Amino acid sequence: MKILLTGVTGQVGWELQRTLMTLGEVISVGRSQLNLAQPNTIRYIIREVQPNLIINPAAYTVVDKAESEPELAMTINGIAPGIMAEEAKRLGAAIIHYSTDYVFDGAKTTPYTESDQPNPQNTYGKTKLAAEQAIASVGVPHLILRTSWVYGLRGKNFLLTMRKLALEKEEIKVVNDQIGAPTWSRVIAEATAQILSQARQDVSSFFAEKAGVYHLTASGETNWYEFAQAIFTYDVQYDERKLQRLIAIKSKDYSTVASRPAYSLLNSQKLTNNFGLILPDWQRSLKLVLVMNK
């Protein structure tokens, strides 16, 4: 199996490089080789590589900045994956694409299922939904894996932001009324590899049978304040931090450019039913991340 992997410098892409190694020949490309803001380069690279499978974790992920750069965000998040799907279909290949809990509006109070109607409230969510729709409309064998609150030891994410702020500030305010599931980038990559290991050699047939949207997030639920509390509880390494007070606030008291869903917990039962996968509890994963970084 020849796999074209995008976004290798990102959180999920970097982890995927390691987990996919035993499943086939992995051709990894970053922004310098494959710029999703330049659609012509996408077609060129895919036709040159001739993969059996395209895996696309690359994305424009700066949620607030997307409000002032909607065209760029749509090109990278919405249009580029559609082009990948077209090229995959042309080759008789399959595609895995990653999406987000932000395709939902947060109006529910029970976990969202794949059959719930998306209604994104910010530009980032709208562009990610556009990709889902584009891939599905092409009719290529595909898996769209929606995840949430992705973090790890690379890139920009909530975990690294909290650790940095704790070294600089005595007081940090974090919202406690947005509910979701923090999901470690490595867990996402390992779950992807486990799905692929079930495909054996006939990737396109396997994906055609299993095609669709799946929710892939850590088990359990929390809010951003409790997530921050857990980070500082488990992260015993940071003796030098200045932080004295972690204060819970409401979303209305913390101004952001882009609106966030108040509730974006995803139900991953379909993933379990189709692939036999249950992701670890978010606290267990967080402890592992911080132990690894000692």
* Count of residues making up the chain: 294
Provide the pLDDT confidence category of residue 241 given band limits of 50, 70 and 90.
Answer: confident
Condensed to tens digits (0 to 9), the pLDDT of residues 179-204 reads: 999 999 999 999 999 999 998 767 87
Asked if the structure places residue 133 within a domain, the reply is yes
CB 113 within 8 A of CB 144: no
Catalytic residue among 60, 98, 124, 263: 124
% of the chain exceeding 90 in pLDDT: 90
Tell me if 8 is assigned to some domain: yes
- Residue 288 located in a structural domain: no
What is the rounded CA–CA span in Å between residue 5 and residue 7? 7
Report pLDDT for 237. 64
- The pLDDT score that the predictor gives to residue 239 is 67
Run of H or E residues at 39? helix 39-49
275 part of a folded domain: yes
Residue 236, in any domain of the structure = no
- Count how many domains the chain has: 1
Which region, left, alpha or beta, applies to residue 57 given φ > 0 means left and ψ of -120 to 50 means alpha?
Answer: alpha
Q: Is the pTM of this model over 0.75?
A: yes
Residue 249 lies in a domain: no
- The whole-angstrom separation of Cα 161 and Cα 156 is 7
Residue 173 lies in a domain: no
Beta bridge partners, 179, equal: 223, 263
Give the model confidence (pLDDT) of 254-292 as tens digits. 999 999 999 999 999 999 999 999 999 999 999 999 987
In 3D space, the residue among 263, 286, 291 whose CA is nearest the CA of residue 107 turns out to be 263
* d(C-alpha 200, C-alpha 143), whole Å: 16
Q: How many CB atoms lie within 10 A of CB 168?
A: 10
CATH code for position 45: 3.40.50.720
Domain range enclosing 121: 2-153+182-219+264-280
Written as one string, the DSSP assignment of 180-242 is E--EEHHHHHHHHHHHHHTTTT-HHHHHHHH-EEEE---BS-EEHHHHHHHHHHH-TT-TT--
pLDDT for res 208: 86
263 is an active site residue: no
**Residue 235 belongs to a domain:** no
